[in-house]
Chains A and B, each alone.
Chain A
Amino acid sequence: MRLQRVARFLILCLIVMSSGIAWQANAEYADVVLNQKSEKEGVRPVIFPHWFHRIRFKCKVCHAELGFKMRVGSNHISMENITAGEFCGACHNGDVAWSADECDLCHSGKPGLKTGIRGGHETMGPGIW
């Protein structure tokens, strides 16, 4: 029984560590790529940096007050609801932060990126197992 548990523990360790090795470099930890519509409609994918925003806002501002669900791709963000003051547009309105006219600051990704969360150092984030 005990041996079995130790073995399970070691296997878990291995899985996690190998994912770290396979995913070095590339992106800052917790960067989000949003490309459900952008490239299809002729603009670069969007890159949302968590590190930059969490220096200025607690998680709950976006994930409780503004209602961003904690699952990449589940929020159906579009330019229409941004300019109407929802999601990114609750702040990127020329008041809390620069406005939605600054296309290239948000649409800054390389062509071909897939929507998802990136882990620069250790893991690929959830949803990959």
Chain B
Amino acid sequence: MGLLCVLTLTALASNWQKLAEDGLHDPTNPALKLLQDPTESLSVLPPDSTGNKVDWIRALQNGDIKPRSNILEQLEDEILDLDVLIMAAGSAPIVRFPHKAHTEWLDCSNCHEHLFKSKAGATQFTMLDILQGEYCGTCHGAVSFPLTECNRCHSVDPDEANRIQREMATAKAEADDKQ
């Protein structure tokens, strides 16, 4: 039991490197001790397996962190709760793009219109573009969860995608009928 505890603790401790040993910070800098080691604040947030090893979406939704939206005055966030399915993904499962998780952090202008047009399917790009740091890869693989997490984006199997699309088409037809 004790051994298990020690093992878990060392596994946890090794999630984040000390600044002095991270290969980036100059260990001879006298001010280094004033900087915070990532373990101090990241280890108390909801865990994840990659990136900063923090589930940032959950941390925000749980209120574990309360990042400001504005430095001049606290403006209301513009949150959009709209999922977009991005098709043409060949044999890979279809991509579901959730606006909600994104607009909790970002402004529309961070993506529209220079990365993506505001019309489903209007922007053409491939996985290779993403891997080269364009489109979704502007953030994913740099700051947001890395591109190794295929199934977080490729999360909808084709049958379910067909069903969702049919439902959306019916809903639209009904809405048009009402007009």
Contacts and interface: CB of A to CB of B under 8 A. Distances in A.
27 contacts: A9-B91, A12-B127, A27-B17, A28-B52, A29-B50, A29-B51, A29-B52, A29-B146, A30-B142, A54-B56, A56-B67, A56-B68, A57-B67, A59-B105, A65-B70, A66-B71, A90-B71, A96-B71, A104-B29, A105-B31, A105-B34, A108-B31, A109-B25, A117-B143, A120-B52, A121-B146, A125-B142
Given A5-B91, A50-B143, A61-B68, A118 B42 contact: no
Interface of B: 16-17, 22-26, 29-32, 34-36, 38, 41-42, 50-54, 56, 65, 67-72, 77, 90-92, 104-107, 109-110, 127-128, 131-134, 137-139, 141-143, 146-148, 150
A100 B45 CA distance: 30
A28 B90 contact: no
A91 B71 contact: yes
B50 A58 contact: no
Given A31-B24, A70-B110, A125 B133 contact: yes
Nearest to B56: A54
> What 3 pairs between A and B have smallest CB-CB spacing?
A126-B133, A104-B31, A122-B146
B43 to A, nearest CB: 12
A9 B17 CA distance: 33
A44 B29 contact: yes
Interface of A: 2, 5-6, 8-9, 12-13, 15-17, 20, 25-31, 33, 44, 47, 49-52, 54-61, 63-66, 70, 90-91, 96, 102, 104-105, 108-111, 113, 117-123, 125-127, 129
Contacts of B16: 28
Contacts of B53: 29, 121
Given A28-B22, A104-B30, A64 B110 contact: yes
Contacts of A127: 132-133
A67 B135 CA distance: 19
A80 B134 CA distance: 31
B90 A122 contact: no
Which residue among A5, A16, A60, A63 has the maximum number of chain B CB atoms within 10 Å of its CB?
A60
